[in-house]
């Protein structure tokens, strides 16, 4: 269901982009918008991972430089039957992590130094398994495309706002209409982008818990990261809020905004679902033990 919803949201975002191009410049505007969308997505497909890793000054690590972190990722990748991703360390005290890359063969997982210090080994495994799930499901590419199209819609809206779009004969809407498009289109695009991100987090929690085999460890990690992110700054994330959706927990401090604009689903809801998942796994074993009786 979440996969279908994600597909529909991406289709809506693409349709919105083409629609904005048409409203601003008619048929010519829509063609131009389509060309921009293709070019930006091709660029994002090949370069987004390099850009975001450089943005956070992530440092590549290996078995020699970060043996504990590397060993956990290696074991989880083996369990998930996935290629070993590149592993990076971010020198930030805020506990957090993200995954990036266009596919499982070209993926990277980055964890902050604060995350390694705050979590137990089991909790860290839960977080890294969550990020591997994003890679396995190709969410890193999906969310990059969503962010790219949303950004392109904002660019078109700025063009319309400052330059007024095409001539009146080519423009399906008048000057007031162009102004309304310039104001409302970026807001709508952002809402759709954030909805895509929130949808994928629940699936990554579920599959990450299956990979590490410990739903409650991931739940415990989410609670700790949420508390840490609220009180510890991540200056690079604050300077680049468009990347906030990549992290396992929102790295920004503007948590008071309405949930409609949230980059992530409620952490409490995510923890509740993981707890339910753990209970569902325990129930069959308990029922089987009850049927066997105290002597097996």
Using the predicted structure, report yes or no on whether residue 117 has a pLDDT greater than 80.
Answer: yes
Beta bridge partners of 108: 86, 100
| pTM, entire model | 0.78
Contact (Cβ atoms closer than 8 angstroms) between residue 76 and residue 98 = no
Angle, CA 208 vertex, CA 244 and CA 142 arms, to 5°: 45
pLDDT at 191: 65
Alpha helix (H) residue ranges in 56-138? 67-79, 113-118, 121-136
For residue range 172-230, what is the model confidence (pLDDT) as tens digits? Answer: 545 555 566 556 666 666 666 666 667 789 999 999 999 999 999 999 999 999 999 99
Lowest mean pLDDT among 12-26, 222-236, 241-255: 12-26
Q: Which residues are catalytic?
A: 131
Per DSSP (E only), the strands in 116-205 are: none
């Amino acid at each position: 269901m979440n996969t279908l919803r994600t597909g529909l949201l991406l289709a809506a975002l693409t349709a919105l982009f083409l629609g904005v191009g048409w409203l601003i410049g008619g048929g010519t505007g829509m063609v131009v918008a389509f060309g921009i969308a293709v070019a930006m997505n091709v660029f994002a497909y090949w370069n987004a991972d390099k850009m975001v890793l450089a943005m956070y000054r992530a440092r590549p690590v290996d078995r020699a430089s970060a043996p504990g972190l590397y060993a956990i990722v290696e074991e989880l990748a083996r369990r998930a039957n996935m290629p070993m991703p590149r592993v990076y360390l971010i020198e930030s005290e805020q506990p957090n992590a993200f995954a990036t890359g266009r596919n499982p063969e070209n993926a990277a997982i980055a964890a902050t130094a604060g995350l390694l210090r705050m979590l137990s080994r089991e909790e860290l495994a839960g977080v890294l398994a969550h990020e591997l799930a994003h890679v396995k499901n190709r969410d890193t590419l999906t969310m990059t495309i969503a962010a790219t199209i949303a950004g392109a819609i904002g660019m078109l809206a700025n063009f319309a706002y400052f330059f007024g779009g095409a001539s009146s004969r080519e423009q399906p809407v008048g000057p007031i209409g162009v102004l309304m498009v310039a104001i409302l289109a970026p807001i709508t695009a952002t809402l759709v982008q954030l909805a895509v991100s929130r949808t994928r987090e629940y699936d990554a929690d579920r599959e990450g818990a299956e990979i590490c085999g410990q739903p409650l460890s991931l739940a415990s990690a989410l609670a700790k990261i949420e508390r840490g992110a609220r009180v510890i700054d991540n200056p690079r994330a604050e300077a680049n809020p468009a990347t906030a959706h990549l992290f396992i927990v929102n790295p920004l401090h503007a948590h008071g905004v309405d949930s409609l604009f949230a980059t992530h689903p409620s952490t409490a809801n995510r923890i509740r679902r993981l707890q339910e998942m753990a209970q569902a796994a325990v129930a069959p074993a308990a029922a089987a033990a009850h049927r066997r009786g105290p002597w097996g």
